[in-house]
Structure 1
């Protein structure tokens, strides 16, 4: 089925094979912990964008291949055939790739991208991928605390952070209805300086 579906949507057969091998190892019944389904581990929400409204339908190999390949084709068009970005976006999502300007440092995505590119080459893929491999290896080096802090400051929504706090009042007074209001009142919580280092 892969050659027919790849030809139908104008995606290199080698790329489809590489993604299927990395995603499910050709297991049409595979389900990820995140809920991705089938040969190409398509998320039901992504499948809905392509008219597949039932997660059960994704267990059908042909439906799954068509949906995943159409998604690959859309990513190839969006990222102008930059295979590194396409593969990262297939794994981590377009939002992450766009938000980080393709500087995705998720270890899972870096491993995935490298595995797909290597498999793509073994399958006879001919698109230039050397730059993408160099980028993946460079991003592995970025995975250090200083760089992580800079990336967090630049790209992370502060509302997603969890902070260690300690109550400043008696536990009984942590009920807002019992808390005094006014200039003399104390804050209900404050940052625990020892825990945030």
Structure 2
């Protein structure tokens, strides 16, 4: 339930919540940003036929990372976390391919065909270009968070996304990356390299971790709102309602009466 204020006009809006949906940049988040379930949207269909060997795909990742000046270890860790090197992978929110690129994100890099994202070369090139741009903006640790949750989520969370899935994802990617470089994930060296502080709790972050509240489904049909007008019928006409220091809200909520406990 939301209260929307316009001058002295108070509107009460009741919204239904779909289970599993969270506020976030799920378009990029694959979590975060407004996740859309498979039931609510048509997901891309991978092509039929064999896929390249993992050895060939790793060689492609290395070549593309070198081409764009991004660390091979970081791109490799991200691909493992995103798709496990499956070029036909499709997420529940429509992210596609090896680097789980969203079609909307791909369009920013000139790729306007969802089918093209199933091509490993196109997918990795697009994903690495996007990652490089994030690295230039945020540094390693925050770029990994933004790749998963979206840049908007990073801004809203003051540079450290608290979505449980993003926490687990970031821990997995950065731990793998740091291990390849021979750096302990919880060391000062890791902090200096990634720009964020990894903690063991990030690996097992849940929806209730750190005081984070979970969103429960609400059945609007079970809501009971008691409101009463505070003005005359004439003043209740929005076109006639005037605002000013002495004006009153058009409606107000009535306090529910306390329930009496039955006597034993």
| TM-score, normalized by the shorter chain, greater than 0.5 | yes
The alignment's C-alpha RMSD in Å is: 3.6
Among 160, 163, 166, the alignment partner of 2:224 is: 166
Among 152, 156, 163, the alignment partner of 1:95 is: 152
The residue matched to 2:197 in structure 1 has which SS?
helix
- State how far apart, in whole Å, the 1-side matches of 2:257 and 2:144 are: 41
Among 125, 128, 143, the alignment partner of 2:209 is: 143
The residue matched to 2:95 in structure 1 has which SS?
coil
Q: Could you report, residue by residue, the CA deviation over 1:114-163 in whole angstroms, capped at 9, with x for unpaired residues?
A: 1001111233377x872259634288599333xx48xxxxxxxxxxxx89
The residue matched to 2:62 in structure 1 has which SS?
helix
Runs of 4+ in 1 over 2 A off after TM superposition: 121-126, 132-145, 162-165, 179-194
Answer yes or no: is the 8 Å Cα contact 1:88–1:97 preserved in 2: yes
If you compute each CA radius of gyration, which structure gives the higher value, 1 or 2? 2
Q: Measured at CA, do residues 166 and 188 of structure 1 come closer, stay the same or move farther in structure 2, by a change above 3 Å? A: farther
Unaligned runs of 5+ in 1: 150-161, 170-178
Question: Are 1:4 and 2:63 counterparts?
Answer: yes
Question: For residue 175 of structure 1, what is the aligned residue in structure 2?
Answer: none
Q: Could you report, residue by residue, the CA deviation over 1:33-64 in whole angstroms, capped at 9, with x for unpaired residues?
A: 11100000000000000000011110000000
Structure whose residues are more often helix by fraction = 1
Answer yes or no: is the 8 Å Cα contact 1:11–1:69 preserved in 2: yes
The residue matched to 2:88 in structure 1 has which SS?
coil
Question: Are 1:120 and 2:177 counterparts?
Answer: yes
Answer yes or no: is the 8 Å Cα contact 1:165–1:190 preserved in 2: no
Answer yes or no: is the 8 Å Cα contact 1:19–1:116 preserved in 2: yes
- State how far apart, in whole Å, the 2-side matches of 1:118 and 1:138 are: 10
> How does the TM-score come out when normalised to structure 2?
0.54
Answer yes or no: is the 8 Å Cα contact 1:103–1:139 preserved in 2: no
Q: Could you report, residue by residue, the CA deviation over 1:102-123 in whole angstroms, capped at 9, with x for unpaired residues?
A: 2211110010001001111233
Q: Could you report, residue by residue, the CA deviation over 1:67-88 in whole angstroms, capped at 9, with x for unpaired residues?
A: 0000011011111xx2110100
- State how far apart, in whole Å, the 1-side matches of 2:210 and 2:256 are: 25
Among 190, 196, 200, the alignment partner of 1:130 is: 190
Answer yes or no: is the 8 Å Cα contact 2:229–2:251 preserved in 1: no
Among 57, 62, 72, the alignment partner of 2:131 is: 72
Answer yes or no: is the 8 Å Cα contact 2:88–2:118 preserved in 1: yes
Unaligned runs of 5+ in 2: 1-59, 237-249, 259-264
Q: Measured at CA, do residues 180 and 134 of structure 1 come closer, stay the same or move farther in structure 2, by a change above 3 Å? A: closer
Q: Measured at CA, do residues 134 and 12 of structure 1 come closer, stay the same or move farther in structure 2, by a change above 3 Å? A: closer
